Amino acid sequence: MDYASSLLGLLPGGRRTPGLKELLNTVGSYLPAEQVERIREAAEFGATAHKGQKRLSGEPFIAHPVAAAAILADLHLDADTIIAAILHDVIEDTPTPKDQIAERFGPVVAELVDGVTKLDQIKFKSREEAQAESFRKMVLAMVRDLRVILVKLADRIHNMRTIDAMAPARRRAIARETLEIYAPIAERLGLYSIKIELEDLGFKALYPQRYRVLERAVKRARGNQREFLKKIEQQLQAALLKNNIAAKVEAREKHLYSIYKKMLRKRATLNEIVDVYGLRIIVDTPDTCYRALGVVHGVFKPMPGRFKDYIAIPRVNGYQSLHTTLFGPNGVPIEVQIRTVDMHRIAESGIAAHWRYKTGEQTDAMQQERAREWLSNLVELQNGVNSEEFLESVKVDLFPDKVYVFTPKGEILRLPSGATVVDFAYAVHTDIGNRCVAAKVDRRLTPLRTVLRNGQTVEIITAKGATPNPAWVNFVVTAKARGAIRHYLKGLRRTEAIGLGQRLLNQALAEFKISLDEVNPQTMQSALAELGMKDADELYEKIGLGERLAPLVARRLIQTEGPEEAGSGPAQPLAVAGTEGLLVTYARCCFPIPYDPIFAFLSTGRGIVIHRERCVNVEDYRKHPEKWLPVSWQTSPDRLFSSEIRVEVANRMGVLAAVAAAIASTETNIDHVSLEERDADTSVLVFELKVRDRKHLARIVRTIRRMPEVLRVTRTIAAHSRKRPYQ
């Protein structure tokens, strides 16, 4: 293999692109010789597969996977992971099949490579959809083997290190994806060293000017801080030794992106942020951490409310440390982290520590368990949603958690900042969330949309027949809750669509003096085959969702029955009661209510939309007569409907309250009110009300008209359009 053997010369190495020789030296320091030889063979195999391919920078393509492997070698990962990193682009960018990799390097390596491979072979509607589906595939591969994400993160780090060769627009898109997805994943898995580098590289590529300004300012500040920090380190070290505590005290540098985010979050100036000093104290045991904390608080006074115990309550990714902020000399804030050697190792390498090559038993079970719990939630989340919804939900789920609440049994649940009672219910179990009807926070009944605070105890009250409320989607913040509610609603929507589709098809068949039950089964099967439907339920669902027109389907079904069957009078109107569910909606342009003359428009994907016949938007629908439906009200609809009225009043103090009180006297709820100033003498009040029917609305209007301040009352015909007097 002349080409492959020349790799040592082609890839000289360096900080941005580590070479093969550098990689082999690193793995040789901790892996046995036979494993190093496997890695060399993988590099030669990859070089041959990528022969002739070059990166945008002009260097041989194989330089990229070798550099990605070197990043993982620095974490002392096992040989299979290193080999998978070297071969991670082989299936995607060369004709090499997965089976060949499995035969040569084993099934574990082949599965890892396949998990990282993008889905470029499938045609998607957009780059966003392709990216989202690729991410979904990667998450599912991560569930089988978490090393997939380690390879992907190493691939992303090297791509970000060499991103300057790309066009500016592409560079910004990749940088944004890195900051929104890959850096938070690294943090969630406890890979802080990788997370920090991804954030700084992403920040530099997305906002190069801001990065340069901040970098210069931080360099100046660090130069001034060096002597100051050295004195504080010596003071703390001496105090710890005096109390017989062996500890390593070191300065902790903030990385640029965290400084930038802190400036945005606190709306602080650069000087306010860079003037905060950071120190880390590393000791031997958790007990010593608390003893060291007492010593530190004896040297410098702690800031109230700035202490966090992540040892007793670890972060969701397993991170543990004590955090405190001190008043240093001259009142300068000093942020101190106190942790053990093991905690420090996990804080730096997180889940990667589990695959470090070692002869002893594997440790870090807590990180493994937490990571797998998170991934199992993602797998549950991806059921019933498309790839783009899944990707957005994962982005929400990746935000750092900041709220710790308790179950009635004292168990701790970690939730994102802003999480509500419903988020808590779904965090306990999906079934608990679905059947949630009420909740107690600290033993007091509270609304389900209540935002939770640290330390609260939450008890969920459930009922057997309860179901999720569609309105919950508007306030839940966790991906699990949002996904579960949407999944339920999609199932409910399908059930309702099938029922509505049956009614619409029956109505259309009535024109031909035939009912759905009388349609020949063979005729139905023939029509289903012609329309590409697997069964009648799918056909009814498409009709209910407005994707198929019932009159056309009806004509297809009666074709074989003979023309003599097909001549009837006008269609019977579809009866609506206002309780049909998600697929019968009432237009907010004209607010139809019972006993209004109405008509229906079949809207693709939404089902039936009911309008008043006098709605000014009707003209737009007249262009599609095939989508009109005759509808009528049931004799006594059993619900309240929204209606909107405009009340022109003389300007005087308290007139709004007086009109609202008059409406309330008719036992009517006001959903919304707005005030439109017309001139110095008159104003227009717009009320959205909940009414039973036209009679109820007429009573409200009569009550308002009796008021001396009221000049005129009109009912909305269409939003943002002309209004006609109430009839």
With respect to residue 594, please indicate whether it lies within any of the assigned structural domains: yes
d(CA 630, CA 575): 9
With respect to residue 131, please indicate whether it lies within any of the assigned structural domains: no
Partner residues linked to 459 by β-bridges = 440
Are 512 and 613 part of one and the same domain? yes
With respect to residue 362, please indicate whether it lies within any of the assigned structural domains: no
d(CA 149, CA 365): 18
Are 48 and 166 part of one and the same domain? yes
Q: Is the pTM above the cut of 0.75?
A: no
* pLDDT for position 721: 41
Last residue of a domain, one of 454, 482, 510: 482
- CA neighbor of 642 nearest in space, from 686, 690, 609, 594: 690
Residue 320's contacts (CB-CB under 8 Å, 6 or more residues apart) are: 310, 311, 314, 339, 343, 346, 347
d(CA 198, CA 189): 14
d(CA 260, CA 268): 10
Mean pLDDT over 578-588 rounds to: 73
Are 183 and 216 part of one and the same domain? no
End-to-end CA distance of the chain: 91
d(CA 484, CA 42): 43
Residues 302-324: tens digit of each pLDDT: 988 889 898 988 876 677 899 99
Residue 168's contacts (CB-CB under 8 Å, 6 or more residues apart) are: none
Query: Total domain count for the chain?
Result: 5
In eight-state DSSP terms, residue 407 is -
With respect to residue 538, please indicate whether it lies within any of the assigned structural domains: yes
31: alpha, beta or left? (left if phi > 0; alpha if psi -120 to 50):
beta
Partner residues linked to 436 by β-bridges = 462
124 pLDDT band (50/70/90 cuts)? Answer: very low
506 pLDDT band (50/70/90 cuts)? Answer: confident
Are 21 and 64 part of one and the same domain? yes
Are 286 and 197 part of one and the same domain? no
Beta strands across the sheet bearing 277-283: 248-251, 277-283, 333-340, 322-327, 308-309
> Catalytic one among 37, 41, 89, 92?
92
d(CA 377, CA 399): 15
Are 511 and 621 part of one and the same domain? yes
121 pLDDT band (50/70/90 cuts)? Answer: very low
With respect to residue 123, please indicate whether it lies within any of the assigned structural domains: no
Are 217 and 348 part of one and the same domain? yes
Instruction: Assess contact for 95 and 104: CB atoms under 8 A.
Output: no
d(CA 383, CA 380): 6
711 pLDDT band (50/70/90 cuts)? Answer: very high
374 pLDDT band (50/70/90 cuts)? Answer: low
Residue 402 predicted with pLDDT over 80: no
Are 501 and 532 part of one and the same domain? yes
Helices 192-206 & 341-349, crossing angle to 10 degrees? Answer: 40
Residues 143-174: tens digit of each pLDDT: 667 788 889 899 999 999 999 888 888 899 89
Residue 538 bears catalytic tag: no
* pLDDT for position 136: 66
With respect to residue 133, please indicate whether it lies within any of the assigned structural domains: no
Residues 21-48: tens digit of each pLDDT: 888 999 998 889 999 999 999 999 999 9
CATH number assigned to the domain comprising residue 685:
3.30.70.260
Partner residues linked to 677 by β-bridges = 683
For the chain, helix, strand, coil in percent to 5 are: 50, 15, 30
CATH number assigned to the domain comprising residue 25:
1.10.3210.10
Last residue of a domain, one of 443, 462, 482: 482
Rounded to 5°, the CA angle 463-385-138 comes to 120
* 371: number of Cβ within 10 Å: 23
Average pLDDT, the chain: 80
Residue 112's contacts (CB-CB under 8 Å, 6 or more residues apart) are: 80, 81, 84, 88, 141, 145, 147, 148, 151
d(CA 645, CA 685): 8
Residue 93 bears catalytic tag: yes
Are 604 and 683 part of one and the same domain? no
* pLDDT for position 680: 75
CATH number assigned to the domain comprising residue 310:
3.30.460.10
Task: Give the distance between the most distant pair of CA atoms in the chain.
Answer: 107
Residue 91 burial by Cβ neighbours in a 10 Å radius (0-12, 13-18, 19+):
buried
CATH number assigned to the domain comprising residue 452:
3.10.20.30
Query: Tell me, what amino acid is at 717?
Result: I
* pLDDT for position 391: 61
Last residue of a domain, one of 581, 614, 633: 633
Are 690 and 570 part of one and the same domain? no
Residue 583 predicted with pLDDT over 60: yes
Mean pLDDT over 331-348 rounds to: 85
Mean pLDDT over 54-80 rounds to: 88
With respect to residue 88, please indicate whether it lies within any of the assigned structural domains: yes
Are 552 and 408 part of one and the same domain? no
With respect to residue 130, please indicate whether it lies within any of the assigned structural domains: no
700 pLDDT band (50/70/90 cuts)? Answer: very high
> Catalytic one among 41, 59, 93, 401?
93
d(CA 644, CA 590): 8
Q: Which two tokens stand for residue 699?
A: 């009573």
Element (H, E) at 647: strand 641-650
What are residue 637's phi and psi, to 5 degrees? -60, 140
Partner residues linked to 335 by β-bridges = 278, 325
- CA neighbor of 478 nearest in space, from 570, 539, 401: 401
For every residue of 455-517, which 3-state class applies, written as one string? CCEEEEEECCCCCCCHHHHHCCCCHHHHHHHHHHHHHHHHHHHHHHHHHHHHHHHHCCCCCHH
- CA neighbor of 390 nearest in space, from 605, 114, 129: 129
Residue 712 predicted with pLDDT over 60: yes
Are 295 and 166 part of one and the same domain? no
Q: Which domain holds residue 224?
A: 210-353
Residues 184-199: tens digit of each pLDDT: 888 777 788 888 999 9
Contacts 24+ apart (CB under 8 A), 708-711: 709/649, 709/650, 709/652, 709/655, 709/658, 709/659, 710/647, 710/648, 710/649, 710/659, 711/648, 711/649, 711/650, 711/682
* pLDDT for position 358: 47
